[in-house]
Amino acid sequence: MTSRRLLAAALALTAALVTACGSGDSVDESVRADGTVDLSKVTLRIGDQKGTGTQALLEAAGELKDIPYRIEWSQYTSGPPMLEAINAGAVDIGGVGNAPPVFAAAAGSKIKIVSAYRVGTSGQAIVVPPNSTLRAPEDLRGKKIAVAKGSSAHHHLLTVLDKAGLSFDDIEPQYLQPADALAALTTGRVDAWAIWDPYTAQAQQQAQARILVDGKGYVEGDAFYVAGDKALGKTGTATALRDLLDRIKRAHTWVNANPEPWSRTFAQLTGLPYEVAHQSVTREPYRDHPIDDATIAAEQRVADIFADADLVPERVTITDFIDTRFNDLYPPA
């Protein structure tokens, strides 16, 4: 090789090394030389959906004021696509029900459950049209049931079928996102819809749907905030996540005590009618709690029922997808 070619190769190698060392994956620009964090250099990317309403929640409670970091919001129709975005590194954190983390974990996603809160069970429901002849869970045999695959409603449906002596093979699942499922229910293309609030309230208010069975006695009622491993591995982002989770906890306390303004803000920011928002948010209060042994055991049961039904590619050990570093923010359950 000529000296000119050797020089060119050396320059190319040096440029590659400089690029690698200067990438965002290895350098956290928010960390000062003394080890403290400059949150003004952090952008927190938050996934949101109507079912969690994180942005509406924080806005209503006044918790979006004086935030020391920047926020970028992304909207999703349900938890599974949000967790796909978190795994891909496009989003740092988002709120989901109990089933999406199981499907994400079974797919090998790089995620962790970082906080837990109880949202109740009465808004988790299987609804039917007002003139439906279905009266009990046993009547679901052979019926077309709309459900978002990998959602908390998917888990609720499984537990309802199991207690009724039915299997998932005894129904005709129709995997639909909420907007399409509501249309399918109102036009008679499905016999029932497994869903969560605020869509349960929307079905009741706009389609006069009847609750065939809710989540009482079937599900724990826990929901979670899930963060990406990459976000948790960066000091600045992890510091911002701690602040965000603390704000969400305070916002839960505020909305429990102020259902009317919370309903108005929720309706305004989600585009839902006030009546739908109000019915949804006043069913049961938020109850934040640490990710304790009971919480982990309950989530493991969710994972196991999906595995037993052959709906996930492999069994999941939930403890592999838990990060309890923020537990100190929450009082014991």
pLDDT digits (tens, 9 = 90+) for 79-121: 899 999 999 999 999 999 999 999 999 999 999 999 999 988 9
- Please tell me the distance from the alpha carbon of residue 269 to that of residue 254, in angstroms, as a whole number: 17
Would you say residue 131 has pLDDT above 80? yes
Distance CA 147, CA 194 (A): 5
Average of per-residue pLDDT across 169-178: 96
Coil, strand, or helix at residue 313? coil
Closest CA to 130 of 198, 188, 194: 188
Percent over 90 (pLDDT), the chain: 79
- What residue ranges define each of the domains in the chain, with the CATH number in brackets? 39-120+221-329 (3.40.190.10), 125-214 (3.40.190.10)
Please tell me the predicted confidence (pLDDT) of residue 51.
61
- The C-alpha atoms of residue 153 and residue 27 are separated, in whole angstroms, by 40
The two structure tokens encoding residue 81: 């696509």
Give me the torsion for CA of 6, 9, 10, 15, rounded to 10°: 160
Q: What value does the mean pLDDT take over residues 44-65?
A: 89
pLDDT score of 249: 97
> What is the percent of the chain with per-residue pLDDT over 70, rounded to a whole number?
91
pLDDT digits (tens, 9 = 90+) for 234-270: 999 999 999 999 999 999 999 999 999 999 988 988 8
User: In the predicted model, is pLDDT for residue 8 greater than 70?
Assistant: no
The whole-angstrom separation of Cα 115 and Cα 245 is 8
Q: Is the CB of residue 99 less than 8 Å from the CB of residue 306?
A: yes
Please give the average per-residue pLDDT across 161-167, as a whole number.
96
How much is the mean pLDDT over the chain? 90
Q: What are phi and psi of 272, to 5 degrees?
A: -85, 150
- Does pLDDT of 213 surpass 50? yes
The gap between the terminal CA atoms of the chain, to the nearest Å, is 70
Q: Which of 15-19, 161-165, 186-190, 316-320 has the lowest mean pLDDT?
A: 15-19
pLDDT for position 242: 98
Q: What is the pLDDT of residues 272-294, one digit of tens each?
A: 999 999 999 899 899 999 999 99
pLDDT at 77: 87
Ranking 24-38, 125-139, 208-222, 301-315 by mean pLDDT, the lowest is 24-38
Kindly tell me if the per-residue pLDDT of 44 is higher than 60. yes
pTM of the entire predicted model: 0.84
Q: Token pair for residue 34?
A: 């003394």
- The contacts of residue 52 (CB under 8 Å, 6+ apart) are 94, 95, 96, 223
